């Protein structure tokens, strides 16, 4: 539910900027067009003071992530909510531009680097009464995930399911570590992780044909629509109940327990340190080693 603004408020400058980013320019511009359409009525009156823009960012490329952050920072906008949503599932064994296994590199390391590069902006934007929020989209698949700290790139043995599950478990560990660091730092930034449920989207384009047939026949019954799938992320991003609340896993807008191993603080710390090395950033958490 977007806050409805009257047109005076809009002309007075009470606008919220919404930056949509992704590696698919046409998909992003289409999202911008739809949001503009929904925020303006038939007479051209602005109903919601949202200004959407699209900025290119390929999460499978550290160079692209760095360029995106530079462009974003150049706008001099505050950043109150960052939603780490992008993902791929069950892709064949292949590497990102930087040589990382694609699930781990894109789903996890891409968001790890993006969040870290935006951390100063988030810290500057959050206040005691309005914390900046980092929302990261994981999956119930993380419950079957195993983190192979000695083989994060799945070089020893590759399975698309295993690689996807590992990337989603890494995102949960990352969120809890980030919250720990933000609390230790006294920053007004919270980090939460979300499971959207089973949603009828393009994510399933790499599943086998038999699964595609089953999905096609049962999606109307068992799958959420993309709008329903987005609801927990939106809840985490804007709900007043979650003001100042961080380090939780949410499913169906409810606080839920993630897998036991995700609460292992030593594992969270080791993954963070390893991720800093892989993305070549300084380890903000190294002080409490």
Ligand X SMILES: NC(=O)c1ccc[n+]([C@@H]2O[C@H](COP(=O)([O-])OP(=O)(O)OC[C@H]3O[C@@H](n4cnc5c(N)ncnc54)[C@H](O)[C@@H]3O)[C@@H](O)[C@H]2O)c1
Q: What is the dihedral of CA 133, 138, 143, 146, to 10 degrees?
A: -100
Residues 115-144 interacting with ligand X (rule: CB under 6 A): 137, 139
23 vs 55: CA distance, rounded Å:
9
Please choose, from the candidates 46, 28, 27, the residue with its C-alpha nearest in 3D space to the C-alpha of residue 37: 46
6 vs 49: CA distance, rounded Å:
8
From 84-92, 118-126, 143-151, 153-161, span contacting ligand X (CB under 6 A) = 84-92
Q: Of these, 51, 55, 203, 234, which contacts ligand X (CB under 6 A)? A: 203
Query: Mask 56-75, x = binds ligand X (CB under 6 A)?
Result: -xxxx---------------
- Residue 157 CA, distance from chain mean position: 27
86 is an interface residue for ligand X by CB under 6 A: yes
The yes-or-no answer on residue 48 being catalytic is no
Closest to ligand X by CB, 6 vs 24, is 24
> What is the nearest approach in angstroms of ligand X to the Cβ of residue 266?
26
The one catalytic residue in 108, 143, 158, 164 is 164
From 53-61, 67-75, 115-123, 214-222, span contacting ligand X (CB under 6 A) = 53-61
> What is the nearest approach in angstroms of ligand X to the Cβ of residue 2?
20
24 is an interface residue for ligand X by CB under 6 A: yes
From 22-30, 41-49, 243-251, 263-271, span contacting ligand X (CB under 6 A) = 22-30
8 Å CB contact between 6 and 41? no
> What is the nearest approach in angstroms of ligand X to the Cβ of residue 125?
23
Please choose, from the candidates 163, 205, 189, the residue with its C-alpha nearest in 3D space to the C-alpha of residue 246: 189
As to burial, measured by CB atoms within 10 angstroms (0-12 exposed, 13-18 middle, 19+ buried), residue 118 is buried
90-107 burial, b if ≥16 CB within 10 A, otherwise e? bbeeeebebebbbbbbbb
Q: What is the dihedral of CA 79, 271, 92, 145, to 10 degrees?
A: -100
8 Å CB contact between 85 and 23? no
25 is an interface residue for ligand X by CB under 6 A: no
> What is the nearest approach in angstroms of ligand X to the Cβ of residue 171?
8
Which residue is it, tokens 């000695």? 150
198 is an interface residue for ligand X by CB under 6 A: yes
For residue 158, what are the contacts with CB-CB under 8 A and spacing of at least 6?
93, 101
> What is the nearest approach in angstroms of ligand X to the Cβ of residue 104?
13
Residues 94-113 interacting with ligand X (rule: CB under 6 A): 106
From 33-41, 118-126, 195-203, 277-285, span contacting ligand X (CB under 6 A) = 195-203
Residues labelled catalytic: 164
Residues that bind ligand X (CB under 6 A): 22-24, 27, 57-60, 85-89, 106, 137, 139, 196, 198-199, 201-203
């Amino acid at each position: 539910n977007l806050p409805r603004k009257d047109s005076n408020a809009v002309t007075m400058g009470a606008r919220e900027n919404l930056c949509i980013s992704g590696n698919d320019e046409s998909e992003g511009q289409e999202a911008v067009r739809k949001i503009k359409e929904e925020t303006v009525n038939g007479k051209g009156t602005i109903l919601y003071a949202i200004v959407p823009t699209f900025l290119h960012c390929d999460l499978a490329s550290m160079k692209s992530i760095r360029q995106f952050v530079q462009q974003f920072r150049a706008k001099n906008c505050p950043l109150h909510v960052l939603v780490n949503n992008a993902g791929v599932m069950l892709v064949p064994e292949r590497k990102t531009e930087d040589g990382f296994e694609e699930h781990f590199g894109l789903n996890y390391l891409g968001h790890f680097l993006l969040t870290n590069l935006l951390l100063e902006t988030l810290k500057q934007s959050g206040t005691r009464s309005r914390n900046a929020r980092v929302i990261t989209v994981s999956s119930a698949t993380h419950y079957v995930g195993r983190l192979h700290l000695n083989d994060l790139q799945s070089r020893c043995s590759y399975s698309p399911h295993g690689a996807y599950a590992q990337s989603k478990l890494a995102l949960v560990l990352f969120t809890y570590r980030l919250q720990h660091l933000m609390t230790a730092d006294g920053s007004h930034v919270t980090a939460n992780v979300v499971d959207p449920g089973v949603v009828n989207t393009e994510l399933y384009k790499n599943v086998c044909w038999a699964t595609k047939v089953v999905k096609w026949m049962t999606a109307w019954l068992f799958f959420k629509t993309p709008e329903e799938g987005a609801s927990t992320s939106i809840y985490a991003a804007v709900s007043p109940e979650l003001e100042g609340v961080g380090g939780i896993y949410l499913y169906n807008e409810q606080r839920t327990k993630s897998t036991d191993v995700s609460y292992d603080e030593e594992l969270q710390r080791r993954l963070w340190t390893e991720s800093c090395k892989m993305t070549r950033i300084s380890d903000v958490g190294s002080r409490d080693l």
